[in-house]
Amino acid sequence: MASGHINDTYLIKTKEKPYFVLQRINHGVFKNVPGLITNKVSVSLHIRKKMAHLSEKELKGRVLSFLLTTNDDSFYHKDSDGNYWNMMIYIDNSVTFEMVNNEEVAYEGGKLFGDFLNQTSDFDVSKLVEVIPKFHDMSFRYSQFKAALQSTPKERLYKAKLYIDCVTDLKEEMHILQNLKESGEIKLRTTHNDTKISNALFTKNNKGLCVIDTDTVMPGIIHYDFGDAIRTICNTAAEDEINLDLVEFNATYYMAYTKGFLEHMKSSITPLELKHLPLAAKTMIFIMALRFLTDYLNGDVYYKTKYPEHNLDRAKNQFKLLQSLSQQLSKIQN
Ligand code: GN1
Ligand code: MG
């Protein structure tokens, strides 16, 4: 099941419901899997407390519930192959979207991810392990890109040339948020860090249910979560669509998402955070473009790919989205 680029996820069907979701965590990518599991279990418990008014049955549909092993651990580790497994209750009667085709889903997605940030706004970030250090750190991603340029074969360099130039052109602007984070002007919060729309569960009537895939929960700024959700919600095509004419930035969905997001975040968002939401969208699209491009230059060592130029196609797609957003930026800022 599921469509992740990193972990393996299985739906376990049992005679009686509930079903379960079994996950093998990629310990090549995540160096501290026990820390990752502790992060996500404690954040789920925190959210659960915020929803204490719901019944136990309702709660199981609104927040992830992790299972314990017979040794009372939240994960099972097999020494012989190094694999880590964890299991949660499958949330039934839910749907996910790889792409958004209606405004209501954008609005409901905004409420859901806004709620996640709001409910975790009083979670002590110092208790969270940085599961992938510098995950959305622009200087780090840029230095990985520079290193890849040094070692990539000529043919890949040639094919990526146009996009390498785009990176250079945008480099400075794309560091603004990181600088504000480092200076402490924008504060660290508990963030999800992988808020693509397929990581949100909805009811069959398009109402937001639950945020899933909390593997990358760690300290971050709200712009990561806002921007990554916008990146996927406002793309009129899939992340790896190769017909770039189909890839446009949908500003209507941007407005709908932002409306929902702010309804749930208005009590905890600062004016400076608010001011930089449009830049967050641009920055997160850019960072994904940069990461896909870097992985292409590196010979596809990180993301799962289905064919040789998959990563380059993903990067092209994200750069097209970025261009379309840039053309509409003044409208969005207003
Ligand atoms: C990866 O594995 P998945 O699909 O949940 C990646 C995200 C990217 C996403 C792009 C740990 O997420 O950062 O946004 O692919 N996760 C990791 O689809 O690198
Ligand atoms: Mg993920």
The arithmetic mean of pLDDT across residues 144-149, rounded, is 98
Give the closest residue (by CA) to ligand 1 atom 17: 6
Please report the pLDDT score of residue 218 as a whole number. Answer: 97
Determine the Cα–Cα distance for residues 302 and 292; give it in Å rounded to an integer: 9
Question: Above 60 in pLDDT, residue 27?
Answer: yes
Residue partners of 109: CB distance under 8 A and separation at least 6: 100, 197, 200, 208, 229, 233, 257, 260
The DSSP code sequence of 96-159 is --SS--SHHHHHHHHHHHHHHHHHTTTS-GGGS--SSTTTT-HHHHHHHHHHHHHHS-HHHHHH
Average pLDDT, the chain: 96
Question: Above 90 in pLDDT, residue 143?
Answer: yes
Q: Render pLDDT for 245-303 as a digit per residue (tens, 0 to 9).
A: 999 999 999 999 999 999 999 889 999 999 999 999 999 999 999 999 999 999 999 99
All domains of the chain in start order, with CATH: 1-92 (3.30.200), 94-334 (3.90.1200.10)
Secondary structure class of 23 (helix, strand, coil): strand
Question: Above 60 in pLDDT, residue 2?
Answer: no
- pLDDT band (50, 70, 90) for residue 334: confident
For the chain, give the number of residues: 334
Please report the pLDDT score of residue 80 as a whole number. Answer: 85
Determine the Cα–Cα distance for residues 87 and 127; give it in Å rounded to an integer: 22
Please report the pLDDT score of residue 1 as a whole number. Answer: 59
Please report the pLDDT score of residue 293 as a whole number. Answer: 98
Give the closest residue (by CA) to ligand 1 atom 18: 5
Pocket-testing residue among 25, 196, 213, ligand 1, by greatest number of atoms within 8 A of Cβ: 196
Determine the Cα–Cα distance for residues 134 and 217; give it in Å rounded to an integer: 13
Strands 200-202 and 189-191: unpaired
The arithmetic mean of pLDDT across residues 228-247, rounded, is 98
The DSSP code sequence of 48-60 is HHHTTTS-HHHHH
Question: Above 80 in pLDDT, residue 176?
Answer: yes
- pLDDT band (50, 70, 90) for residue 333: confident
- pLDDT band (50, 70, 90) for residue 3: low
The response to whether residue 196 sits with its C-beta less than 6 Å from ligand 1 reads: yes
Please report the pLDDT score of residue 34 as a whole number. Answer: 96
Determine the Cα–Cα distance for residues 172 and 154; give it in Å rounded to an integer: 27
Percent of the chain exceeding pLDDT 70 equals: 99
CB-based burial label for 132 (10 Å; 0-12, 13-18, 19+):
middle
Please report the pLDDT score of residue 4 as a whole number. Answer: 79
The response to whether residue 216 sits with its C-beta less than 6 Å from ligand 1 reads: yes
Question: Above 70 in pLDDT, residue 72?
Answer: yes
